[in-house]
Amino acid sequence: MLSDFDQNTQYRRKVLQVLLLITFFGGFVFGLSNIYRELYTLAFLELGYGLFSFLVWRQIGNTTNFQFWVISYLFPFFSIMMYALSVPGSSQSIFVWILTIPVISYLLLGKKIGFYFSIVFMTLGISIFHLKFMTDDIPLSITVSLNVILSGVLMIALAHVYERNREKNEERLMQLAGTDKLTGLANRMKLIDVYASASEYAKRHNVPLTIVLFDLDYFKKINDLYGHHVGDAALCFVADFLKKHTRKSDLLARFGGEEFALIMLASKPKDSFQQVDSLRKKLMNKPFIYNKKEINITLSAGISYLGVDGTDLDDLLVKADERLYFAKENGRNRVVADVLADNIEPSNSAK
């Protein structure tokens, strides 16, 4: 699953590709038009910028330094707008392009940087307009000034509200896509996404990363004896229990069925084992109560470690699953971190 940053970059990359093509064709059309009008400096700026836009368009599909190219495109684009508006002989109609600044800024730069770009260039554009086009007719000047200022403020406000709501909706959709419907925990897709960033952090800062797989013991009996609706309630009970007893900095996910997974960052192997085994003991002593019936639930767990048992998530999950299977085959209700190391493997506390 793509991260929020990747989603935003893809969205903005497509917007920029469209704008670059429009700027390429527009630059040549306006450039040739201004040569005819003998506005040579403006004409060559527009022609040169049209060519620059085409070169950026060829690059932008694959570049990793997207933000750099966005700013490299927007700053001269808006600056040429300001110059075009101020050139002697240019018409008031150029101000229509100035009104596109907030929309383009927010689409390509997001809420924060887009706001600053909009404020700076809209202020410049409105100031140039007033200096150049205001007349001695005071009533008319006031009317024109109010229209120009209010239209500029309106465009910034609308672009800001739109981008803020878009970011919130996108964040909400990403959250829903990464959430297990039954338990409200992260799902497997979210686990994969978080592991990618967590493992990079662990490697860069040389801190340990632990993967844990939990499986509820004899869960099928709960479904068979009490029904699947009670089984679902039991899964929610365990999910809530695990969430309350794990660190907020760790990621707890429902891996599938009655299996859960945990990513633990910056916790030494011995400490992570003790934390997981403590979870096991606490759950063993906290029965699930449904319709005044006490249902004892225990779990087994397998642990793997980044760098020791593998470097990618699949390898770590396979190793953790092997140790989980070993725990199941050797009495259940236990945590296994290394099937060959007696000093790490816990004693069997199954009832």
Q: What is the DSSP string of 11-79?
A: HHHHHHHHHHHHHHHHHHHHHHHHHHTT-HHHHHHHHHHHHHHHHHHHHTTT-S-HHHHHHHHHHHHHH
pLDDT tens sequence across 261-311: 999 998 888 899 999 999 999 999 998 998 888 999 999 999 999 999 998
Asked if residues 9 and 49 have their Cβ atoms less than 8 Å apart, the reply is no
- The Cα–Cα gap between 351 and 348 comes to 9
* H helix intervals, 134-257: 138-177, 188-205, 219-226, 228-244
Whole-number pLDDT of residue 153: 93
Whole-number pLDDT of residue 48: 95
With b for 16 or more beta-carbon neighbours within 10 A and e for fewer, the 283-322 pattern comes to bbeeebeeeeeebebbbbbbbbbbeebbeebeebbebbbb
- The Cα–Cα gap between 174 and 180 comes to 12
The single residue listed with the structure tokens 């959250």 is 175
* Residues annotated as part of the active site: 258
- The Cα–Cα gap between 177 and 184 comes to 11
Higher pLDDT, residue 88 or 28: 28
- The Cα–Cα gap between 204 and 197 comes to 11
Whole-number pLDDT of residue 135: 66
Whole-number pLDDT of residue 106: 92
pLDDT tens sequence across 252-263: 999 888 999 999
- The Cα–Cα gap between 287 and 36 comes to 86
- The Cα–Cα gap between 344 and 337 comes to 6
Domains and CATH numbers, the chain: 4-177 (no CATH), 188-336 (3.30.70.270)
pLDDT over threshold 90, residue 235: yes
Is the alpha carbon torsion for 79, 147, 156, 104 positive or negative? negative
Q: Which of 61-70, 87-96, 182-191, 232-241 has the highest mean pLDDT?
A: 232-241
Tokens of 102: 């907030």
Whole-number pLDDT of residue 136: 64
pLDDT tens sequence across 122-146: 999 999 998 888 766 666 678 888 9
Residue 139, SS3 per DSSP: helix
The average pLDDT across 236-245 equals 94
How far CA 9 is from CA of 3, 70, 349, in Å, comes to 10, 11, 51
Q: Which of 80-89, 235-244, 337-346 has the highest mean pLDDT?
A: 235-244
Count of Cβ atoms closer than 10 Å to residue 279 Cβ: 20
pLDDT over threshold 50, residue 347: no
pLDDT tens sequence across 76-129: 999 999 999 998 877 778 888 899 999 999 999 988 999 999 999 999 999 999
pLDDT tens sequence across 146-203: 988 999 999 999 999 998 888 888 777 766 678 888 998 999 888 998 999 999 999 9
Higher pLDDT, residue 292 or 29: 29
Whole-number pLDDT of residue 176: 67
